[in-house]
Structure 1
Amino acid sequence: MRAITRETIHKNFHQYQMKKFLKGIFSLLVFFAISFILSTVSVKAQDNSLPGAEYDWGIALLRDGRHADAAKQFESELRGGMKIATERWIDAISYAAMLGETQYQMGQLPAALESFSTAIRLSIQHASWPTKVSNIPNPGMFTLKAVPWVDPTPNRNLMRVPEKFSILFGDLYHGNKYRTGGIAMAPSMKSIRATKIFNGTMLAIRRRAELLGPLGAGDELNSQLLTQLTQVQRSLAGTWFQAWLEIEIGLCHLSAGKQDDAIQSLMRGALINGNAHPLTPISYVELGKLQMKSGHYEKAFNLFLDAATIAYHYENVEMMTEAFELLENAYCQRNPQMVCPQLGSAAEWAKAKDLPLLYATLQALRVNDFMRFKQVRPALEALAIAEKTIAKQDVSAGRIGAILNYQRARIALLDPTPQSQRLGMESLSRAMNFMRFGAVWNFHLQQVDIRLLNGQLTTRKALDAYQLLLREPTAVDWSLNPIESLAVSMTPRPGTWENFFLCAVDMEKKEEALEISERAKCAAYLQSLDFGGRMHSLRLLLESPENDLTVSQLQRKRDILTEYPNYEVCSQKVRNLQMKIRQMSLPVTQKDDGKTLTEALKEVTELSRRQEAILSAIVLDRRVIDVVFPKIRTTKEIQASLPKGEAMLVYFAARNQLFLFLLNNERMAMWKIVDSGAGIGSSRKNKSNENLLTSLQLNFASMLKEMGLGSGNIRPEILLETNWKKAAQRVMADLTKNSQANFASADFTSLVIVPDRFAWYVPFETLLIQTPKGARPTISQFAIRYAPMASLGTPWKNTQLPKSPYSMIVGGKNMPSEKIQNRFEKTLKRPVIFEEKSYGGISPGTPGTVSSVFATEFDKMFVFADLKNDESASYSIFPMALDYGTREATLGYWFLLPHGSPRLIFLNGMRTQCESLIKKASKSSKKQLQAIPGQEMFLTSMAFLANGADTVILPRWNLSGSTPWRLMTHFVDQLPENKNSAYAWRKAILKLASSEISVNAEPRLAKSDDVEQISCSHPFFWAGYLLIDSGSGSLQSMERLEKLAAEKENASNLPPVNAPAKPRPLALPVPENEEEPNRQDSKISPANPAPQKPEGNGALAPLPPMGGSGNTQAVPMGGNVPVPLD
């Protein structure tokens, strides 16, 4: 037996005490648990009204900004609410509506729409529930209390409405269900909070109408609810439930677009016997919105103020928040000279009552109010308070968070320092990241797209909806909702524009289809720029000559310059400095001259930086800024601008289809590209190929491949072959099948081509057409020029800016002989050679000498050097090539001030995706294009034209050596002698094509022992360039033509005796190897046209063909009369 020691006794005693302590703790926990359960049951027993306390808890979470928790709460109640068998009861209306509101505030608009639709379906299903409410009591009257933001307290009568009502639950005749079938539910009385249910239905109608936008007019759910409410209202005549139903009916009318009916119903339901009630704020808010749309801001302000005040008495914080948001907007439109006094008082009250979301919203509204007067310090203080209030809450990532980021951007952009500008752009980026999916306007467009593609929307209705929604934001839009207007301007939506275009095509509205294609291209360009092109438009508005602006644009320009006079002061100084620079002698050779030039350029840079700071302070204001470039024309205006003898061919790609428009000043045809069934590109032979427009692309790639492109250096022997001509004929067949275009017998001599997508790479000049002398390239028939948009294809400027006497030449590694260089320089008045180590005598990197500033001082810019750009690059290219790697030298910085650009720009070394397209078209190739085909050509040409260029020449494929120098020599030499650049370009090509070149003079040609000299008649040498021009002609050519016209008129007025011979009429330039056609012996002439074979009318082109004999005969490419260049 073990001995009992003192230690054992102590040990056992301590174990006993520990067991006793643990038992006590356990008993205490059990007591508290039972107490909690009993208290919960007691609460449930005391208040079993629906919606119940859980609903109130969800509302409290919303008011705290805890939207994720609130969403979970409402979802839980929606699943677990009262049900009749498996069907939800009327309390679910409130849960679904508030769940939708939570999702709406967080930018989850598709989910919000579905939640609101659920609430509407439940409201339709239980539409008769108000008739089952028993013993509707007579309401009492409120004892008014002081309102913090209104002094004195308004003298009005407010009804005291009971919170709870008894309603019949089940069926008095439930016994019949056993015989007839259905759910048998014994009758009982339930307690409901009718105001919450009515409020849920009204919220669902209002938000759903907001989310549907123009689609709400034909909404089936809204129509069904309106029918049900109208029937129920008749059975409630004489009760004050009738007034609440009137508001619901008015909201349904508003959703359906019946504004007059809506106003009548909302006014009838706003008051009961002249007294306000808990739902009056809803009626007042909607009536106030209608007053805002009508421009009656004073009436709207009073309605919103009344709504906020009444909501205060009924403790409806959600309606107070909405009313104050609208109140501030209406107050701003009244344009008072003081901040809104109600906002500060309301904010203090919200803080005292611990309502974080309302408090943050009011502070955000105060920021906007302060910013009207550029009061930065109080705006920053209010912004900091708002951000701190919701910093740790879910709602900071929602709609209020986006608004605060937008306001932060506005304040930061007022500060011209680089750090503040960067912070401002980061804040704006965060705001727009939310608004791209959280903006209601963007959601409207998304809904139209989805319903159209799903067959839920007719083409006609979709066309009308797109016409409304794809408008440029108006002055009213910017004034009432600037963040939505900016979001819709900055959100790319090429698919939506394509849907819009195809709707017009399906409706056979070809004129409207062309206009839509123009707007789509304009939107694609503007959305590639900062602020959706808003900053760009602001620069052009202030820098454009007054003659190039409309009356409204001119007024807006004067208003801005009056408000910001320092901008015009800087502009005048910049113009004076630029005039001084143009009077200097370049290139500078003396140190003092170089210092003077550098200082002048440095001052121009500094003045421009100040101007940019002013623009940053303006760009996010609540003001409309018209799009100055590009100027979109209607189809009628484009046709009227085309002179006689000129036609325009416009491409537009939509949903893997390519459409073409051919128009002159009288007629217009439209057709869709179809498979011609010819060649390797036939879709019957390539059914598995998923490339865009398989037939045309493969035939085009085949043509380029036959020309030797796409595989590095080219063997000279390939250029002696003519296989490319068969592929060129196939491409022309693809372009014209099922159309009425007959280029062989066209009645025009000049052709403007507006490409789209990969059509930018198609060398239209090489496509063969049948002539009396056989197949000839189109360049032998027409003067061809290109334009990025149809609206820019004909002269669009009214004013010519001051001209610089200097021309810039940037050579490259593969320079031609000195003789060829000298010949080119002699065609220019004051050429300035730019080498790798200097800018006309100025060291690179010197302040003010980056190309984006320096290039504005030149009239012409010829860059033969390799730009070393990515194939898909546009704004990131370095146009001058010499300052490669300097961020401020990229094309994107050319948009910044000082405004200006050389009038003629030639970029020989720009790399494009053209040859990559050949590799992608190959079945065995895995190479993918880096961007949308042709996008780099479109954006680059638009950038140069926007900054002041008249003529831009871009390469499709790379060429170096002497060929580009020769071509430019011919072109510049012909400019003063021809009608416009296109005619000069045509003659330059014909001259080059009739010459020969040494194989060693072209780096892209592989060395050959068999071929030393090769003819330039092959399109490899001349078809790789696009001449982008409006056809306005140079000043020299216009002066020469005016002089010839005057001489002709004078000659016609001389007496017939001994009168000199009349001057010959102007005609197309004849190349040196082309003989003047003998018009007397010609079988085909304007007076004796060739017989026309009637063309089949395509489904999209019912107009007669543009036939007739051309003014010139076809000329062969090549020949035995070389043009000596070396």
Structure 2
Amino acid sequence: MGKSEVKAVREPSRFLLWSPAAVLTLFFSIFFGGQSIVSALESSLPGAEYDWGVLLLRDGKHDDARKQLESEFRGSFKIATERWLDSICISAMLGETHYQMGNHAEALECFNTALRLSIQHSDWLTLVQNVPNPGMFTLKPVPWGDPNPNRGLLHIPEKFSILFGDLNYGMTYRTGGVAVPPSLKSIRGPEIVRCTMLAIRRRAELLGPLGAGDDLTSELMTRLGQTQRALAGTWFQAWLELEIGFCHLALGKTDDAAQSLMRGASINGNAHLFTPLAYIELGRLQMKAGSYDKAYSLFLDAATIAYYYEDIESLTEAFEELACAYFQKNPQVICPSLARAAEWARSEKLAYLYATLQALRADDFMRFRQARPAMECLALAEKTIGKRAVSMGRLGASLHYLRARIAFLDPSPNSQQLGMTSLMQAMMFMQKGAVWNFHIQQVDFRLLNGQLTTRKALEAYELLLREPTAGDWSMDPMESLAVSMTPRPGTWENFFLCAVDMERKDTALEISEKARRAAYLQTLDFGGRMHSLRLLLESPESDLTVPQLQRKRDILTEYPLYEQCSKEVRALQMKIRQMSLPVTERKEGVELTQALGKISELTRQQEAVLSAMVLDRRVIDVVFPKVRTCEEIQASLPKGEAMLVYYAARNQLFLFLLNSERLAMWKIVDSGAGAGSSRKNKATGNVLTSLQTNFVSMLKEMGLGAGNIRPTIFGETKWKTASQRVMADLTKNSQADFSRADFDSLVIVPDRFTWYIPFEALQIQTAKGPRPTIAQFAVRYAPMASLGTPWKQTQLPKSPYTLIASGKNAPGTKVQNRLESALERPVLFEEKSYGGILPGTPGTASSIYAAMFDKMLVFQDLRNDEGAAYQIFPMGFDYGVKEGSLGYWFLLPYGAPRLVVLPGMRTQCESILKKAAKRSGSSSRQTAVPGQEFFLTSMAFLANGSDTVVLPRWNLEGTAPWRLTTHFLTQLPENENSAQAWRKAVLKFATSEIRPESEPRIAKGDDLKSISCSHPLFWGGYVLIDSGSGSLKTREALGNDDAEENADGNIGQPQTRPKPELEEGADEERDPDAPAGAALEPKAEEEIPEETEPADAGTNGPLAPLPPMGGMLPDSEQKSPAQLPPMGGALPLE
């Protein structure tokens, strides 16, 4: 095609201007002799250079095709500056090139251009002269089967002649405007219609839920309807009907679309050039409806008809859908059409189609785990595309995904590593190339730019941020996996704020729960899919739903090796639990390490089985964590218990306070919980917020953040004032009043830096004066609100053993013996003895043997990489051995100690204090999200079977952690749940004193002989994570009952080791009747009314009455806040 441009005529021909007879002659020649004139015109539009770009696209040379089409677009036919019909084709095919390469934003813009041009020239079919009469094809066998003998196929000429220009040319010239002499132009009408349909369909796919109500699509459909009415009685109506049907699909009107597509799929009962496109969309609708037989027939017909019309694009799309439908229709048989179609594509040298068909064949073989033929097909596809640009696009990603699936069938480490490498290459493309991800990006973009209302954004997010369904996985597993693996914290915050703006508090809480789950799962392999698969197969049946139980049974039936290994692992674990630990004889030690080594080998086989199925099309439900609705969470809260939930979004901290009947929500504006505060200190440039400033000040006044702690700090009370400020910040703009609470148990769900706030030590005003929160409530924490109340059927542990790992600053034998006396079968792990396990032998990593213990108490200094997830080594002794990191605890064997106490774990709390003191903006950057180590560590232990986890905000070492843990273990059998036991332990511990020399962090040199433990430094730094199930009490109570009933000995249980006798004065605890000047409370512990309710509990409290959104107290109840002096320090956050 020549690169011509028709310009406005400045000096028209004298003959045309002054000879009316000549004008009439031209007019009649156009209408009665058009065909003879067309033969003398230039070549049809779009021309040969456009065809060359399409051929490059079909050959898989997408970069060359893009450059060719861009060049053609720049030189396309124009009327002055306005583009004409050929630009519709060029824009659509340029968009297809971008689409195949995953450049969806560029593709959408190209399809937008094509639709705008289609609207501008929507009446072009009415200008076609001498409408050709279609002929008929002579049917012949297709390579993959015989055609339907009753089907007729219309043969429609490729070129049409169209009236071009202005019949009122002279008048236009005299009155001004673009004057184009009338003439006939040759166009390729079917190609223009095909590209218009392509633009409508691809654009609808890229817009997703945003396509409903799209103005551009609606306008195009209106114009097409007008043109259809103007062409009543012609076979053009079928083409227009299809275009209208595709517009209905884009607008989400599937019923209207199906009717239009069925009407337009034939002309007088015969198929035509665009019948394949209609059948493809009708087949997709049948797939969604579950009618796989009908869908397969439609796709097969579409491929057959496209073959006759040499429509390679439709042929490729039809076979992609056909393979999926055949899998659903007949899952026990290899699809027979793919091999014959691939051989034909090879003979025709259609590289892109051939590679696609070979990829489909490889996927078909993988349904039956036939690695060898799948690998042969994959090799042919990779060889075909070679180094073509398409290898970096959608097809290339599909081949990487297939290679990963094949590699995962081989359990060897090299093959597994190759599989992970191939999968990561596929996911690198899919993070930008997945259409589902693009839908989410479009909603984010339009919402933040004011192009989308809050209500529509909320509806779109509800659809797009769902967990991939069984239909999603069966249709496109690679897309579903990409969505699961793509982190999008900003999107979840947008979703949450939409619910807040619409004052839907319950929905906002549920969204925050889903956001936490997504944040957790996306730190795991395969977006948590492998983790969910392990839990599906290993969780007790009582914790699974009926559909999950059915899937579990189907998998175990399909993979009997897994169940066989599981039985052997359980038998070996039972054998180890019946051993007497720690072992003292070498023979017993060898037997123990051999059993552990066997467990390690069996679980490797199980992991190989899981790898073989993890990329299948099967859906795997998220077993942990289960997200509950707001109503379910409230129903699970017992009377007398409340829950405080934090959620940080867009530099705002939102708080929810709920009980079984009521729900309140408020926010702390500019709390600094998110990134980028708008309020900064002009002198330092650090972020300053009231909550963070007071929080940092409180910790500093407690003696943290400045190296060794001065003993004199324990006699100061400035931290109390700062803690009151923190509480005031947390309850600002709310009716929450913890001093008049109508509950005695509080569950806290922190987020971001609020994990570091020692809520137990915050001062609340009571009738008896300021008191720490721990003196009023039993406080426990949870990483999610859904996990804050009992969420599983508690399984009683079968092991009597407790693992104790002491650190380098271990206390004396008196303190250790006191701890061991509170346990049934303590096993002390030291670097040399290693608990009787031979170090360096298979299976001796903590991720293997820790599941053998009921409790795990690790007083080691546990280093933690702030920038990486699960890099803590829970045992400490195997630091640096990758199998000892927390990340390996997710691997089989499933299980973890029921109680985990890690007082030596390092966190960001004190490092944040140090960074807050720095004035340089560059030095205040953090390497990890604040609070991430708490959230991920607690989720990891809970996911693997732990019920209670105790983590520190700051490290103390010395005797204090040992003594507080001892009090906790002593209180467990006597209290309703772990939170009540912890509260009693803290109050008991606070009445004691401690020697400064026994605590490494307390500076030496003062003459103090003892320090009161009532200071929150000793007890306020621990986070008790528990669901309130009371499982620890249950175990201890049953243990005591069993000991009484089986006094003569237990069959099948190891003999109980005699507990050491305590020496007098082993603990430096004060007498409870001693003066309470330095105690936790103004009065002795026994004077604290722990179980009584306030007199006004039924009429007042944090939840009564229910406040409006962001509401304030009534004027009669408001108190003027005291003017507090500003405190120094800033908390810089990423």
How far off is 1:180 after superposition? 4.2
How far off is 1:525 after superposition? 0.5
Report SS of the residue matched to 2:624. coil
Report SS of the residue matched to 1:597. helix
Match of 2:752 among 753, 757, 763: 757
Q: Give deviations 1:1022-1053, integer Å, cap 9, x for gaps.
A: 11110000011135458859999xxxxxxxxx
Q: 1:138 to 1:97 in 2, by over 3 A?
A: same
Quote the sequence identity (%): 71
- Matching residue's letter, 2:799: S
How far off is 1:519 after superposition? 0.5
Stretch of structure 1 that moved more, 633-642 or 1088-1097: 1088-1097
Distance across 2 between alignment mates of 1:1091 and 1:806: 47
Match of 1:917 among 906, 909, 912: 912
Contact 1:916–1:929 (8 Å) recurs in 2? no
Counterpart of 1:68 in structure 2 is 63
Counterpart of 2:1017 in structure 1 is 1020
Contact 1:648–1:664 (8 Å) recurs in 2? yes
Contact 1:307–1:323 (8 Å) recurs in 2? yes
Counterpart of 2:897 in structure 1 is 902
Counterpart of 2:1084 in structure 1 is 1073
Report SS of the residue matched to 2:1016. coil
Match of 1:967 among 961, 964, 968: 964
- Matching residue's letter, 1:936: E
Match of 1:1031 among 1024, 1028, 1033: 1028
Matched residue pairs, number? 1036
Residue 78 (str. 1) matches residue 78 (str. 2)? no
Q: Give deviations 1:13-62, integer Å, cap 9, x for gaps.
A: xxxxxxxxxxxxxxxxxxxxxxxxxxxxxx99996110000111011101
Report SS of the residue matched to 2:1018. coil
Q: 1:120 to 1:683 in 2, by over 3 A?
A: closer
Match of 2:1095 among 1083, 1086, 1094: 1086
Distance across 2 between alignment mates of 1:551 and 1:943: 25
Q: Give deviations 1:466-493, integer Å, cap 9, x for gaps.
A: 0011111111111111111111011011
Higher relative contact order (Cα pairs below 8 Å, separated by 6+ residues): 2
Q: Give deviations 1:115-139, integer Å, cap 9, x for gaps.
A: 0001001101111111111111111
Stretch of structure 1 that moved more, 825-834 or 357-366: 825-834
Contact 1:871–1:911 (8 Å) recurs in 2? no
Counterpart of 1:534 in structure 2 is 529
How far off is 1:338 after superposition? 1.6
How far off is 1:337 after superposition? 2.3
How far off is 1:1101 after superposition? 5.6
- Matching residue's letter, 1:148: P
How far off is 1:799 after superposition? 3.7
Distance across 2 between alignment mates of 1:327 and 1:714: 72
Counterpart of 2:773 in structure 1 is 778
Match of 2:245 among 247, 250, 272: 250
Distance across 2 between alignment mates of 1:676 and 1:402: 42
Counterpart of 1:460 in structure 2 is 455
Stretch of structure 1 that moved more, 823-832 or 152-161: 152-161
Distance across 2 between alignment mates of 1:863 and 1:1043: 25
Distance across 1 between alignment mates of 2:1102 and 2:103: 60
Counterpart of 1:299 in structure 2 is 294
Q: 1:1089 to 1:667 in 2, by over 3 A?
A: closer
Match of 1:556 among 536, 551, 563: 551
Counterpart of 1:831 in structure 2 is 826
- Matching residue's letter, 1:958: N
Q: Give deviations 1:909-928, integer Å, cap 9, x for gaps.
A: 21111112223333614232
Contact 1:785–1:1028 (8 Å) recurs in 2? yes
Match of 1:546 among 515, 518, 541: 541
Cα-Cα RMSD: 2.6
Counterpart of 1:189 in structure 2 is 184
- Matching residue's letter, 1:478: W
Distance across 2 between alignment mates of 1:383 and 1:990: 67
Contact 1:668–1:1103 (8 Å) recurs in 2? no
Q: Give deviations 1:923-946, integer Å, cap 9, x for gaps.
A: 614232111100111000000000
Counterpart of 2:876 in structure 1 is 881
Residue 981 (str. 1) matches residue 992 (str. 2)? no
Counterpart of 1:1100 in structure 2 is 1109
Residue 590 (str. 1) matches residue 585 (str. 2)? yes
Q: Give deviations 1:83-111, integer Å, cap 9, x for gaps.
A: 00011111000000000000000000000
Counterpart of 2:1047 in structure 1 is none
How far off is 1:801 after superposition? 4.5
Report SS of the residue matched to 1:808. strand
Counterpart of 1:145 in structure 2 is 140
Report SS of the residue matched to 1:289. helix
Contact 1:59–1:70 (8 Å) recurs in 2? yes
TM-score by length of 1: 0.89
Counterpart of 1:848 in structure 2 is 843
Counterpart of 1:748 in structure 2 is 743
TM-score by length of 2: 0.88
Stretch of structure 1 that moved more, 790-799 or 689-698: 689-698
Distance across 2 between alignment mates of 1:801 and 1:510: 37
Match of 1:440 among 435, 460, 465: 435
Distance across 2 between alignment mates of 1:1078 and 1:542: 47
- Matching residue's letter, 1:965: W
Distance across 1 between alignment mates of 2:294 and 2:688: 57
Q: Give deviations 1:660-686, integer Å, cap 9, x for gaps.
A: 000011111011114799xxx999884
Distance across 2 between alignment mates of 1:160 and 1:742: 81
Counterpart of 2:50 in structure 1 is 55
Residue 734 (str. 1) matches residue 745 (str. 2)? no
Residue 376 (str. 1) matches residue 375 (str. 2)? no
Distance across 1 between alignment mates of 2:371 and 2:1016: 62
Contact 2:680–2:688 (8 Å) recurs in 1? no
Distance across 1 between alignment mates of 2:414 and 2:1034: 49
Match of 1:695 among 687, 690, 695: 690
Counterpart of 2:122 in structure 1 is 127
Counterpart of 2:656 in structure 1 is 661
Q: 1:928 to 1:267 in 2, by over 3 A?
A: same
Match of 1:930 among 927, 932, 935: 927
Contact 1:980–1:1034 (8 Å) recurs in 2? yes
Give unpaired runs (5+ residues) of structure 1: 1-42, 1045-1068, 1109-1126
Distance across 2 between alignment mates of 1:649 and 1:444: 34
Contact 2:742–2:1097 (8 Å) recurs in 1? no
Contact 1:649–1:661 (8 Å) recurs in 2? yes
Distance across 2 between alignment mates of 1:1016 and 1:956: 17
Q: Give deviations 1:327-373, integer Å, cap 9, x for gaps.
A: 00100011242211110000000000001100000000001111111
Contact 2:742–2:1094 (8 Å) recurs in 1? no
Give unpaired runs (5+ residues) of structure 2: 1-37, 1042-1079, 1118-1134
Counterpart of 2:633 in structure 1 is 638
Report SS of the residue matched to 1:145. coil
Listed as ranges, the matches of 1:388-467 within 5 Å are 388-467=383-462
Contact 1:49–1:191 (8 Å) recurs in 2? yes
- Matching residue's letter, 1:371: M
Counterpart of 2:614 in structure 1 is 619
Report SS of the residue matched to 2:954. coil
Match of 2:709 among 714, 736, 750: 714
Distance across 2 between alignment mates of 1:957 and 1:640: 35
How far off is 1:175 after superposition? 2.6
How far off is 1:598 after superposition? 0.8
Report SS of the residue matched to 2:859. strand
Residue 202 (str. 1) matches residue 197 (str. 2)? yes
Report SS of the residue matched to 2:951. strand
How far off is 1:1079 after superposition? 12
Distance across 2 between alignment mates of 1:269 and 1:409: 42
Counterpart of 2:944 in structure 1 is 947
How far off is 1:453 after superposition? 0.4
Counterpart of 1:816 in structure 2 is 811
Report SS of the residue matched to 2:1095. coil
Match of 1:281 among 257, 266, 276: 276
Distance across 1 between alignment mates of 2:266 and 2:1100: 81
Residue 671 (str. 1) matches residue 666 (str. 2)? yes
How far off is 1:714 after superposition? 1.2
Distance across 1 between alignment mates of 2:491 and 2:374: 38
